[in-house]
Copies of this chain bind each other. A is one copy, B any other.
Amino acid sequence: MMHTDQSTEQPHSPRIVIVGGVAGGASAAARLRRLDEHASITLIERGADVSFANCGLPYHIGGEIEDRGKLSVQTPASLRAQLAIDVQARTEAISIDRETKTLRIHKLDTDVEEDLGYDKLILSPGATPLKPPLEGIDLPGIYTLRNLQDMDRIKAAAESAQSVLVIGAGFIGLEMAEQLIHLHKDVTLIELVEQVLPQMDAEMVRAVEQELMDNGVRLLLGDGISGFSQGDGTVLSAQLNSGKTITADMVILSIGVRPENQLAKDAGLELGARGHIRTNAHMQTSDPNVYAVGDASETFDPILGGPTAIALGGPANRQGRTAADHIVLGERARPYPGSIGTSIVRVFDVAAGVTGHSEKRLQQMEIEYGKTIITDFNHASYFPGATHLTVKVLWEKSTGRILGGQANGIEGVDKRLDVLATAIKGRLTVDDLEHLELAYAPPFGVAKDPLNTAGFSANNIRSGKLRPVYSLAAAEGSQLLDARPAETHSRSRQYPLPGAAPTSR
């Protein structure tokens, strides 16, 4: 049922070369073929695999995804067979000659170099795990996780390891900690800042931290690594900034990523402040014949303006598609609308995530904002299985426009984040949130959804009807009374008021 408008009389089908065959690159290749039956599409990939499910890597290590083959969404062979893409795996792109529109490549298996001419070049090199130049960083037993080979190495090492030190409590660090507990390892998770998930606000990740500890993860917040040394046998010893020493059979470094920008930099393409490849709304770099997509590219923040770079699979896929559209459709192509960084992680039974800006970030940007945090049930409380959900909403003080949202809980976290992300897209205000008409039946929601309640609360705050107190420290020296009804009080184990005397019946 798919057909192309491409006329067979077209004089010249473009030669398109894509560097990087995972999310952004593979999406671009597939979309290009669907738009143009005749284009010459070459996909260069340094690794052995293309289009693998990188978000699934931790879950194969932990055994939750048993079948390794499931992580290969496409293979070089399937891309060739189904979409007639010329896939060159184990091939490195080493330099771009923008004058002659030529890409120099190096075939790793045969050690042969070649030049590939292009009409359009798409760079989708991705990002590489950060490996700070610490003493002992190259000792055996220290791993990073980026591709299937890294995954295989970690999975093999974990078989004989008893203790694992995970460094960095971002998404990958948390997923690895969870999966290693599934493997019955002794897991220590260390994070430089005083909270897990640094892209979220501290009070919104406390439930995640508790869940980690409840499941046996040793959590060290506000501490970093100053170096590694070889311990006894295969045991590694990690020195912490605090002076402590931790020993472990293996170490997983997940402290962040940096964009793979060397090729772009050498070619003189403009880079952003953090080294990402600058692009316009069609994902064109400073050279209109060269596009950049995915984790290595810089796009813009549609909420407050300015550049942003988001290393996530969803944006990478859609940026690949955007670049392909522009190459084939030209000015008829729709621009990329920017990235807001919606993301989520599951940690045992708890989910937590964020969309748009955090409070922390708004403070850094010196934006005047309002906020509310509410806790409610994910679905009708009288229906079996209702669990607590906490939602934080941030809005522009002057207009009420939603700038960001965060949520945590057992069930329904992804749904509320998605609604908030869509609300941000629609430039909705907290007034609009109050009256969102969401799908309600007892198994699925609440007649007044937690997001409606967040809207009610936001509006009570904006109108001056409610003056929230965010910290009980403000009450020092005064007497604290918990005047909530006994029923509310007893239901609020998540939010007790320490030291408060109950006044209620």
Contacts from A to B (Cβ < 8 Å) = 1-5, 23, 35, 53, 55-56, 59, 64-65, 70-71, 73, 81-82, 171, 175, 312-318, 321, 332, 334, 336-337, 339-346, 351, 353, 355, 380-384, 413-415, 417-419, 421-423, 425-428, 431-432, 434-445, 447-449, 452, 456, 459-460, 463-469, 485, 505
**A27, closest chain B residue (CB):** B448
Interface hub of A312, A315, A346, A436 (most chain B Cβ within 10 A):
A436
Tell me, in angstroms, the Cα distance from A413 to B441 when the chains sit together.
12
Tell me, in angstroms, the Cα distance from A456 to B325 when the chains sit together.
11
**A2, closest chain B residue (CB):** B466
CB-defined A-B contacts under 8 Å, sample of 21: A2-B460, A3-B467, A5-B464, A53-B380, A313-B447, A314-B437, A316-B447, A317-B448, A318-B434, A318-B452, A337-B435, A339-B437, A342-B439, A346-B441, A414-B444, A414-B445, A421-B439, A422-B426, A422-B436, A422-B438, A423-B426
Which of B82, B351, B353, B383 is within 8 Å of A59, CB to CB?
B383
Closest Cβ–Cβ distance, residue A484 to chain B (whole Å): 10
User: Chain B residues near A464 (CB, 8 Å)?
Assistant: 5
User: Chain B residues near A459 (CB, 8 Å)?
Assistant: 334
Tell me, in angstroms, the Cα distance from A316 to B65 when the chains sit together.
44
Tell me, in angstroms, the Cα distance from A82 to B487 when the chains sit together.
11
Tell me, in angstroms, the Cα distance from A460 to B34 when the chains sit together.
10
Closest Cβ–Cβ distance, residue A34 to chain B (whole Å): 8
A171–B441 CB distance below 8 A: yes
Closest Cβ–Cβ distance, residue A206 to chain B (whole Å): 20
A4–B428 CB distance below 8 A: no
B438–A55 CB distance below 8 A: no
With A56-B383, A425-B426: A447-B340 Cβ-Cβ less than 8 Å: no
Closest Cβ–Cβ distance, residue A211 to chain B (whole Å): 14
**A342, closest chain B residue (CB):** B437
User: Chain B residues near A317 (CB, 8 Å)?
Assistant: 447-448
Tell me, in angstroms, the Cα distance from A500 to B175 when the chains sit together.
44
